[in-house]
């Protein structure tokens, strides 16, 4: 099937996007409004249970997408006229692309958790309020990812953009592998410095509130500054992750849904792994190799294989590299963490 032909074009499947978005908003409303109405610390057992729920939902959605494609694609007049089109193979391809995209995005999310840990420690966010910051941070991330995905679907129609994104991913992978780690410096972030010029910030917390009125002026609390910094870092993460998944699939709907499912599981993963990130110190090298691979796939391998490098091979390579990096992390544990790297005092 030609790469330019989409299985789920937005004009025909806009209701797919609307229904999925409504489902996600319902889950988020249930999470914040019912299950977590009171501010409290999230236990390891609860985080593990929710991680299993989010992963289970993603896999269930992938299966339903596969079954729907099996039932719908044979009757799609746009596709049946394409010589050699096999609806069964196309349905399987879509399911594998979703799974590969979800694994890549979920793995990148694990690496991003280290930044989240540093941010929340830097601003000394109490444990009982961390879920609230992460919830609204992820809500903002959903909006920005949707914008990035829509923009990417437009830009990638031009082949030179595909080459540019592929080269960018290779560069990002090499930088992740060889560049030294830098400390966290939120006070030097231009957006936060600009925000502080216009909105005063209280030095202390005011419960779970992001803003508080003191005398006649509205002040932001450290909780909101932490949220703002998380949003900025997620936008930076999206610059890497969205092109990475577009290297695995041309379908914006698969990019959108796999990305969203990975983000939804980010909060529970934070509480599950936040205290043990040093155990996965080799993961960054695995992620670097994955980014290099998907960059080469986007810029070179797809053309080499007639427009689409086999997704089953891609999935096997990604799973093997990530699995090996996790295994090596346990076989060769990190001996010592510098005290100054793990925390800082808020200002």
Task: Establish if 247 belongs to a structural domain.
Answer: yes
Rounded to two decimals, the pTM is: 0.82
Is residue 234 scored above 70 in pLDDT? yes
Q: What integer pLDDT is reported at residue 91 of this predicted model? A: 93
Which residues constitute the domain of residue 271? 10-181+237-342
Q: What integer pLDDT is reported at residue 340 of this predicted model? A: 45
Q: What is the pLDDT of residues 217-231, one digit of tens each?
A: 899 998 999 999 888
Q: Which residue has the tokens 């934070």?
A: 270
Indicate the number of domains in the chain: 1
Task: Establish if 93 belongs to a structural domain.
Answer: yes
Task: Establish if 313 belongs to a structural domain.
Answer: yes
Task: Establish if 106 belongs to a structural domain.
Answer: yes
Q: What integer pLDDT is reported at residue 345 of this predicted model? A: 40
Q: What is the pLDDT of residues 177-214, one digit of tens each?
A: 887 766 666 677 788 888 888 889 888 888 889 999 98
Task: Establish if 152 belongs to a structural domain.
Answer: yes
**Cα torsion angle, 327, 59, 295, 291, sign:** negative
In 169-226, the DSSP E strands lie at 211-214, 217-220
Task: Establish if 216 belongs to a structural domain.
Answer: no
DSSP letters for 297-340:
IIIIIHHHTTT---HHHHHHHHHHHHHHHHHHHHHS------HH
Is residue 122 scored above 50 in pLDDT? yes
Answer whether 133's CB lies under 8 Å from 230's CB: yes
Distances (CA, A) of 82 to 5, 77, 149, 308: 10, 9, 27, 17
Task: Establish if 202 belongs to a structural domain.
Answer: no
Contacts of 341 (CB under 8 A, 6+ apart): 181, 183
Task: Establish if 198 belongs to a structural domain.
Answer: no
Phi, psi of 220 (to 5 degrees): -85, 150
Burial 33-48 (b: 16+ CB within 10 A, else e): eeeeeeeeebeeeebe
């Amino acid at each position: 099937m030609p790469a330019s032909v989409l299985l789920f074009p937005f004009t025909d499947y806009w209701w797919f996007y609307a229904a999925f978005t409504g489902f996600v908003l319902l889950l988020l409303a249930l999470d914040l409004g019912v299950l977590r109405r009171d501010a409290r610390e999230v236990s390891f057992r609860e985080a593990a249970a929710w991680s299993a729920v989010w992963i289970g939902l993603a896999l269930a959605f992938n299966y339903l997408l596969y079954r729907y494609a099996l039932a719908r694609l044979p009757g799609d007049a746009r596709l049946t006229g394409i010589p050699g089109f096999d609806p069964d193979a196309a349905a399987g391809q879509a399911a594998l692309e979703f799974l590969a995209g979800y694994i890549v995005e979920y793995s990148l999310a694990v690496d991003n958790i280290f930044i989240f840990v540093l941010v929340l420690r830097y601003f000394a966010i109490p444990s009982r309020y961390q879920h609230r910051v992460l919830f609204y941070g992820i809500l903002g991330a959903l909006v920005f990812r949707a914008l990035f995905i829509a923009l990417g679907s437009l830009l990638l129609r031009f082949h030179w953009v595909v080459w540019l994104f592929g080269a960018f991913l290779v560069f990002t992978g090499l930088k992740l592998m060889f560049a030294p780690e830098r400390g966290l410096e939120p006070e030097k972030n231009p957006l936060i410095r600009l925000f502080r010029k216009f909105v005063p910030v209280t030095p202390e917390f005011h419960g779970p509130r992001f803003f508080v009125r003191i005398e006649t002026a509205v002040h932001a609390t450290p909780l909101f500054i932490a949220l703002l910094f998380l949003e900025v870092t997620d936008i930076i993460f999206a610059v890497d992750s969205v092109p990475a998944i577009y290297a695995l699939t041309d379908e914006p709907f698969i990019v959108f849904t796999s990305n969203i499912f990975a983000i939804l599981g980010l909060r529970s993963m934070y509480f599950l792994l936040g205290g043990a990130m040093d155990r996965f110190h080799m993961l960054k090298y695995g992620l670097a190799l994955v980014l290099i691979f998907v960059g080469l796939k986007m810029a070179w391998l797809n053309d080499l294989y007639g427009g689409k490098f086999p997704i089953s091979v891609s999935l096997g390579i990604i799973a093997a590299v990530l699995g090996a990096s996790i295994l090596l992390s346990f076989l060769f544990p990190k001996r010592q963490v510098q005290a100054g790297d793990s925390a800082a005092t808020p200002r």
